[in-house]
Amino acid sequence: MTDESYVFVNNKKLKRGHTTGTCAAAATKAATEALLSGRPVGSVKIHTPKGITLDLPVEDMTIADDYVSCAVRKDGGDDIDATHGTLVYSKVSKCESGINIDGGVGVGRVTRKGLDQPVGNAAINRVPRSMIKEAVEDVRFGSDYKGGFDITISVPEGMEIAKKTFNPRLGIEGGISILGTSGIVEPMSETALINTIKVEMNMRSQGNKVLLVVPGNYGKEFSQSLPGIDPEKAVKCSNFVGEMLDYACEINRDIVLVANLGKIVKVAAGIMNTHSRNADARMEILAANAAMAGASMTTVQRIMGCISTDDALDVINEENLIDDVSKLLVEKIEFYMNHRTGGSIRTAAVVFSSVYGLLGKTSLADAMLDEIRGEDL
């Protein structure tokens, strides 16, 4: 193992892993090499978007007259999930032109709008598709072959693994998704993440009474639209809204949380850890508040069938109820943030949608944003 195989978290040496997307690309590269050379491949080097090059063992290779199939095993490192240890297969055959990627057994298929891939496509996300194509081009570049390739990614255990995920509810049926934006699984325990948030809050609190907080990049980007607000000074709290508020009380700092509805809608039901592994009641919350705002039963039922908050807002908008529903949600978000802090600090929230823009602000938001602007002078 190289030094890049590990990362230190809270002075603990933890092992990195690699994603299902990396497995698919590596298996494809090995199968393509064997297809063009006619010789078995025992291991394969794959370059990840993270910039780390992996040398991965190849398993269960079959070299037939018209195709090669092999697998690479998913390794979650010290951040083990449901796919850890699973074999991801790639079957590669020649065709006239192009690099054609599809999913086979155990790879889910998209059945609803709003996901990374269009309806009907295999649930192989954009970055893994790019990695697969790059891996094939690497092999083809060093050969005389000028034709194309048909590639089928499969995960024999995928259907069973998918039962442990939210895939069926999200509209991905028949198996798991092939995922990964960096190609690498970074081991970060919840304790380590929370400690990182605390360190950043301590840093930002120097000379500042009010802290700007965002769950992630969406909130940071939207903060740019707020006049006079510097998004670079925002603290990222990830999914840990409750822990962030607890620590704000500990260091006696007021909080303005700028968040996309897809995250913060859960806070409107008192859910303070917004990771889908802990709770995914987004549609239930939106449906209930739409009903409170006077939506028809048909609309409420349609909201329950949506897979994203923006899709649900489209439905709510058909009855011109976005303002009314947003007002109810903002009131509940304010209540639960104050409930968590016991009134010991001031809290505010700015809620937005990627499609509909600003949805609402809690009662103290504007005044507290003005204080942040004053602190920046």
Instruction: Say what the pLDDT of residue 34 is.
Output: 97
Q: Which two tokens stand for residue 353?
A: 């949608």
- Give me the helices (H) in 186-255, please: 190-204, 217-223, 241-251
Instruction: Say what the pLDDT of residue 16 is.
Output: 79
Residue 119 DSSP label: T
Q: Which helix (H) or strand (E) holds 351?
A: strand 347-353
Instruction: Say what the pLDDT of residue 372 is.
Output: 95
DSSP string across 8-61: EETTEEEE-EE-HHHHHHHHHHHHHHHHHH-S--SEEEEE-TTS-EEEEE-EEE
Instruction: Say what the pLDDT of residue 342 is.
Output: 96
Q: Which two tokens stand for residue 172?
A: 């991905």
CB distance 99 to 93 below 8 Å? no
pLDDT in tens, the chain (377 residues): 445 665 555 555 667 789 999 999 999 999 999 999 999 999 999 999 989 999 999 999 999 999 999 999 999 877 667 899 999 999 999 999 999 999 999 999 999 876 789 999 999 999 999 999 999 999 999 899 999 999 999 999 999 999 888 788 778 999 999 998 888 876 666 776 787 789 889 888 888 999 999 998 899 999 999 999 999 899 999 999 999 999 999 999 999 999 999 999 999 999 999 988 788 899 999 999 999 999 999 999 999 999 899 999 999 999 999 999 999 999 999 999 999 999 999 999 999 999 999 999 999 999 999 999 987 55
Start and end residues for every CATH 3.30.2110.10 domain found in the chain: 3-185
Q: Is 271 helix (H, G, I), strand (E, B) or coil?
A: coil
Cα–Cα distance between 100 and 299 in angstroms, integer?
40
Q: Are strands 235-236 and 59-63 parallel, antiparallel or unpaired?
A: unpaired
Report CA torsion sign: 295, 299, 301, 307. Answer: negative
User: Where are the strands (E) in 58-182, listed by range?
Assistant: 59-63, 68-73, 87-95, 99-103, 106-107, 109-110, 148-154, 172-173, 175-176
Cα–Cα distance between 63 and 31 in angstroms, integer?
8
CB distance 155 to 176 below 8 Å? yes
**φ/ψ bin of 181: left (φ > 0), alpha (ψ from -120 to 50), beta (otherwise):** alpha
Q: Which two tokens stand for residue 250?
A: 């500990």
Say how many Å lie between the first and final Cα of the chain, rounded.
Answer: 49
Cα–Cα distance between 335 and 326 in angstroms, integer?
14
This prediction has a pTM of: 0.62
Vertex 93 angle, CA 75 and 104, to 5°: 50
Instruction: Say what the pLDDT of residue 1 is.
Output: 40
CATH of domain 3-185: 3.30.2110.10
